[in-house]
Amino acid sequence: MAELTLRLITPDAIVLDTQVTSVQVPATDGLLGILPRHAPLVTALNVGPLTYEADGKRESVFVSSGFAEVRDNTVRVVSEAGEPPAEIDEERALDAEKRARRHLDEARVPGAPQIDVVRALGALRRAQWRLRIRSGKRL
Amino acid sequence: MASVKELRLRIKSVGSIKQITRAMEMVATTKLRRFQDRAIASRPYAEEISTLVGNLAAVLGEDLDDQPLFRPGKGERTALLLVSSDRGLCGPYNSNLFRELESALRRTDDTSKIDFFVYGRKGYQYLTGSGRKIERFFVDPQLEKIDYRGAARVAVVLREAFEAGTYSNVRVLFTAFESMARFVPTWIDFLPIEPSSLGGDGDATEAGGSLASGDVILEPDAATIFARLVPRYLETRIYNALIEALTSEYASRRMSMKNATEAAGDMQSELKKIYNRKRQEGITKDLLDIVGGAEALR
C-alpha cells in the first residue's frame, strides 16, 4: 500500500515522524484528507484532531492551530501543541472547560467587558477537543 | 605576617569557598546541558516556520510591502528588548551586554526616544540605576523557567506595542551562544521584518519557486496563511533569543565558577606551603629553647 511520511513538529519536540497511509488535518475550512502522492499544499490549521491511519489503525493527536505543508509525499505539520491522547491532561482540560464556560456566562451580563469572549471561546474549543481526543471515541 | 592559627582558619575558609564554587559549577553544567537540549529541540519548528514564511513571502512578492509588520511603524520611538540574567556570579556575561548597549546608545542621536523592555533582573537594576525609563519588565515566567508560551507572550507584547503605532522599530539585544567559551552580545532587528532576512536554504527557495508558479494549493489563500504565520515566526525568534541567552548565561557561569574553583585550589596550596613553613619554624624554635634550657641547667 502506498504510504506517505507524517511529521508533527512542535516547539519542544518532533512528536511524530512516521509512515502512514492517510492523514486528516483540521484545516481552517474544515477537515482535509491527504492521501499518498497528494499535490503540494500549504494550509493553516485550526484547533482539532490530527488523525492518521497506519497499519489499519486510526490514531488522533490534538493540535492547536499551526500549519501543514505537503511536499515530496511528506506532510509536515507545525503546531504549538501536539498531544497524543495519553499525554492529554484530562483534569486540566476539564478545569479549562469550566473556567471558559464561567467567563462566557459572566460576559453575558449586559455591560460586562467583552474583550475576553474570543479568548474564552478559544479556550473552550481547545478544552473540548482535548477531552474528545482523550476519550478515544471515533472522531 | 599572619599567625599559624589565622593561617589555619584561612585555609579552611578557602576550602569551603572552593566547595561552594565547585557545586555551583556542577549545577551550571547540568542546566547548561538542559538549555542546549531545548535549543536543539526547538530548531526543527523554527526552521519549518521560517521556511514557510520565506516561501510565502516569495509568493506574495510585491504585496509584501502592504503587510504592516514589514513596514516601519508610524511612531518615532524605538522599543528595545534587553535580555539579561536574573542572577549574578556569571562572569562578564551582563557587563559585556551592558557595554554593548552603551556603545550602541552613544551612536544614536536621541536616547530619550528609546523605551526599554527588559527580561532579567540584572538588566532591570542596571537600567533603573542609570536612570532610564523602563516600559515593561518581564517577570512572569521567570527567565529560567521560560517555555515557548512564555516567549510567545513576550513576542505578542512587542508586536502589539509596534502595531499600536508608538514605535518605528523594535530591536532585541541578547547574548548569542557561539561556543562554550564565546558569547557575543548581538542585536536583532525584530520589527519591521526585513524581507531579506527571510528564506531558508537552497531547498527552500526551490520550493518557494514552485509555490510562486502556482503549482501549490494554498488553503485558504497566501495572504491569510501569511497573516497567521508571521506572528508564529516572531515568536520563534524571541524564543530562540531567550534560550540562546540562557545557554550563554550558564556557559559563562560555568566558566567563571570553574576559574574560581581553580583559583581557590591554587590559593589553598599556596597557603598550605606558608602554613607548613611557619609550623616548622615554630617547632625548630621550640626545640632550640628546650635544648638551650637543658644546656643551661647542666
Q: What is the pLDDT of residue B201?
A: 41
Cβ distance of B225 and A71 shorter than 8 Å: no
- Nine cell digits for residue A127: 478544552
Gap from B45 CA to chain A (nearest CA, Å):
5
What value, to the nearest 5°, has the Cα angle with vertex A130 and ends A126 and A134? 175
Contact call for residues B221 and A43 (beta carbons, < 8 A):
no
* Average of per-residue pLDDT values in chain B: 88
Q: Which residue has the cell 625548630?
A: B284
Q: Which of B216, B185, B172 is nearest to B55 (CA)?
A: B216
Residue type, B46: A
A94 lies in the same domain as A53: no
B229 lies in the same domain as B122: yes
Separation CA B85–CA B100 (nearest Å): 15
Nearest CA in chain A to B149: A80
Q: What is the pLDDT of residue B208?
A: 52
Q: Which of B175, B185, B135 is nearest to B158 (CA)?
A: B135
Q: Tens of pLDDT along B149-195?
A: 899 999 999 999 998 888 999 999 999 998 888 899 999 999 888 87
Q: Residue B83: helix, strand or coil by DSSP?
A: strand
A78 lies in the same domain as A104: no
Separation CA B144–CA B31 (nearest Å): 10
CB-nearest to B148 from A27, A32, A80 is A80
Least confident among A94-98, B137-141, B149-153, B197-201: B197-201
Q: Among residues of chain B, what percentage have pLDDT more than 90?
A: 61
B283 lies in the same domain as B246: no
Mean pLDDT along residues B78-107: 93
A95 lies in the same domain as A122: yes
Q: Tens of pLDDT along A32-72?
A: 999 999 999 999 999 999 999 998 899 999 999 899 999 88
Q: How many CB atoms lie within 10 A of CB A125?
A: 16
What value, to the nearest 5°, has the Cα angle with vertex B177 and ends B176 and B178? 110
Tell me, what CATH number does B246's domain have?
3.40.1380.10
Greatest distance between any 2 Cα atoms in chain B: 117
Instruction: List, in order, residues 6 or more apart from B145 with CB less than 8 Å away.
Output: none
A58 lies in the same domain as A36: yes
Which residues span the domain enclosing B151?
Answer: 26-255
A51 lies in the same domain as A97: no
Separation CA B38–CA B43 (nearest Å): 9
Cβ distance of B229 and A67 shorter than 8 Å: yes
B159 lies in the same domain as B239: yes
Interchain CB contact of A35 with B (< 8 Å): no
- Nine cell digits for residue B107: 551612536
Structural domain total, chain A: 2
Q: Among residues of chain B, what percentage have pLDDT more than 70?
A: 94
Cβ distance of B216 and A76 shorter than 8 Å: no
Cβ pairs A/B, distance under 8 A = 79
B196 lies in the same domain as B73: yes
Q: What is the pLDDT of residue B62?
A: 74
A18 lies in the same domain as A76: yes
B102 lies in the same domain as B235: yes
Interchain CB contact of B214 with A (< 8 Å): no
Separation CA B29–CA B255 (nearest Å): 9
Q: Residue A36: helix, strand or coil by DSSP?
A: coil
Q: Residue A38: helix, strand or coil by DSSP?
A: coil
Calculate the CA B214 to chain-centre distance.
42
Which residues span the domain enclosing A66?
Answer: 4-83
Structural domain total, chain B: 2
A100 lies in the same domain as A116: yes
